[in-house]
């Protein structure tokens, strides 16, 4: 009976371990899916902004932008300085974010989707002036705002950007959730500060992998980590980054080529 009991215990332990691994991989996969959406939004914004700024007339009247998607199409709408009219719109497909499939320079009123996103974006930003949200912009960095509408809420991700070459601007990233009227219902700061990764160390050479650790309240590699890395890694020779998680007592790796998160055993 003791032998049978031991076998049952061993089988149970093995099953539990495998179940945990499966659940962890499902979590990793969901993070990558969210990161893909963030990246698609930001990459479309980057490329369309470059196109807009190359046009002197449009550049002079630039007053901001909003971005949204429908199926596999990402649309970036640029707004005039009065915040009342659309001055340009660029549409991309997820499989080709470097070149828009459609452009429009017709000056027109914002449609209902665009107007809602603009109103919500402004409302959230006004709330962030309250110190309780701990929203800060470190010197030398600029915020990239990604607003996403879901069925019952809006999500505003804040990622840091930089113009400094050879830097991956990890850290100081946020997620603000709101109701459908734009009132913040919950929020989270993923990292306590900026933790920029350098692509080259003086006297040593180029770096192909970066490492940082997380707070216990941020147990996994985040969608903002991945989005930031994908946006900037192509300007470097970095191929992956690793994160140590005190919460789960393990390290994880994001592989740029495979676009996956893996546990480091």
Q: Is residue 117 part of a domain?
A: yes
pLDDT computed for residue 3 by the predictor = 58
Average pLDDT over residues 190-215: 88
In this prediction, residue 15 has a pLDDT band, given cuts at 50, 70 and 90, of very low
Count the Cβ atoms, other than its own, within 10 Å of residue 146: 21
Model pTM score: 0.89
Q: Is residue 149 part of a domain?
A: yes
Phi-psi region of 260 (alpha: psi -120 to 50; beta: other; left: phi over 0): beta
Q: Is residue 207 part of a domain?
A: yes
More confident residue, 13 or 187: 187
Q: Is residue 2 part of a domain?
A: no
Q: Is residue 1 part of a domain?
A: no
Q: Which DSSP string do the residues of 31-95 spell out, in sequence order?
A: HHHHHHHHHHHHHHHHHHHHHHHTSHHHHHTEEEEEEEEETTEEEEEEEETTSSEEEEEEEEETT
CA pair distance 197, 232, nearest whole angstrom = 10
Q: Summarize pLDDT for 144-185 with one digit per residue, the tens.
A: 999 999 999 999 999 999 999 999 999 999 999 999 999 999
Q: Structural domain tally of the chain?
A: 1
In this prediction, residue 265 has a pLDDT band, given cuts at 50, 70 and 90, of confident
pLDDT computed for residue 20 by the predictor = 55
Is 82's pLDDT higher than 50?
yes
Contact predicate 59/53, CB 8 Å: yes
pLDDT computed for residue 201 by the predictor = 77
Report residue 212 CA to chain centroid gap.
Answer: 17
Q: Summarize pLDDT for 19-34 with one digit per residue, the tens.
A: 456 589 999 999 999 9
Between 3-12, 127-136, 218-227, the lowest mean confidence (pLDDT) is in 3-12
Q: Summarize pLDDT for 86-142 with one digit per residue, the tens.
A: 999 999 999 999 999 999 999 999 999 999 999 999 999 999 999 999 999 999 999
CA pair distance 65, 46, nearest whole angstrom = 11
> For residue 251, what are the β-bridge partners?
244, 264
In this prediction, residue 14 has a pLDDT band, given cuts at 50, 70 and 90, of very low
**Domain boundaries, position 25:** 12-264
């Amino acid at each position: 009976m003791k032998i049978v009991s031991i076998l049952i215990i061993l089988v149970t332990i093995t099953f539990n371990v495998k179940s945990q691994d499966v659940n962890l991989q499902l979590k990793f996969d969901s993070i990558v899916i969210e990161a893909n959406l963030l990246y698609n939004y930001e990459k479309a914004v980057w490329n369309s902004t470059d196109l807009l700024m190359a046009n002197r007339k449009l550049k002079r009247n630039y007053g901001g932008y909003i971005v949204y998607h429908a199926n596999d199409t990402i649309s970036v709408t640029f707004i005039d300085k009065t915040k009342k009219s659309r001055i340009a719109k660029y549409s991309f497909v997820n499989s080709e974010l470097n070149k828009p499939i459609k452009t429009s320079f017709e000056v027109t009123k914002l449609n209902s989707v665009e107007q809602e996103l603009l109103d919500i974006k402004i409302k959230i930003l006004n709330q962030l002036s309250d110190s309780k949200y701990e929203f800060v912009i470190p010197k030398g960095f600029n915020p990239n705002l990604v607003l996403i509408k879901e069925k019952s809420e809006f999500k505003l991700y804040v990622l840091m950007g930089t113009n400094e070459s050879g830097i991956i601007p990890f850290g100081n990233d946020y997620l603000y959730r709101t109701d459908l009227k734009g009132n913040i219902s919950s929020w989270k700061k993923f990292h306590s500060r900026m933790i920029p990764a350098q692509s080259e160390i003086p006297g040593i050479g180029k770096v192909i992998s970066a490492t940082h650790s997380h707070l216990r309240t941020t147990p996994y590699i985040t969608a903002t980590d991945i989005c930031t890395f994908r946006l900037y890694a192509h300007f470097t020779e970095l191929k992956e980054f690793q994160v140590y998680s005190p919460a789960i007592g393990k390290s994880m790796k994001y592989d740029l080529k495979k676009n996956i998160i893996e546990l480091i055993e």
